Amino acid sequence: MLCEPYLSGTIGARQVAGNDFMYWEVMRRAADRGYRLFDFGRSKLGTGAYSFKHNWGFEPAPLHYRYKLAPGAVMPDHNPLNPKYALFIAAWKRLPLAVANRIGPPLVRGLG
């Protein structure tokens, strides 16, 4: 099984379907090497990542998780579709890339 869930390109690459080409090449080369399963990584239903993967013809398979929470604790909803994060996400998209790259890793550590 080949697992390559994180590929990305520049904004200019989007105009010429660069991401599609990168995934195509990864999958083509994997098939040439005899791989028959491709793990496209996780994505939440209703997100752009889910739609991108679905458009490639991949069938979603539910992942089941088990959690042990402290008494009285509730499961956090760290979903980009959660309205609670809408303003933060909108502001984040407007940050210069250098700023986002600098402050992103420390912020993300506490989300997982």
Domain that holds residue 51: 2-55
pLDDT over 70 (residue 7)? no
Sign of the alpha-carbon torsion through 45, 48, 51, 52: negative
Span 79-111, pLDDT tens digits = 778 898 899 889 999 999 999 999 988 887 766
pLDDT > 90 in the chain, percent: 19
Q: In the predicted model, what is the mean pLDDT of residues 65-84?
A: 86
Domain assignment present for 20: yes
Domain assignment present for 62: no
> What is the 3-state composition of the chain as percent helix, strand, coil, each rounded to the nearest 5?
45, 5, 50
Q: In the predicted model, what is the mean pLDDT of residues 41-58?
A: 81
Question: What's the structural domain count of the chain?
Answer: 1
pLDDT band (50, 70, 90) for residue 64? confident
Residue 106's pLDDT is 85
Rounded distance, CA 50 to CA 43, Å?
5
pLDDT band (50, 70, 90) for residue 11? confident
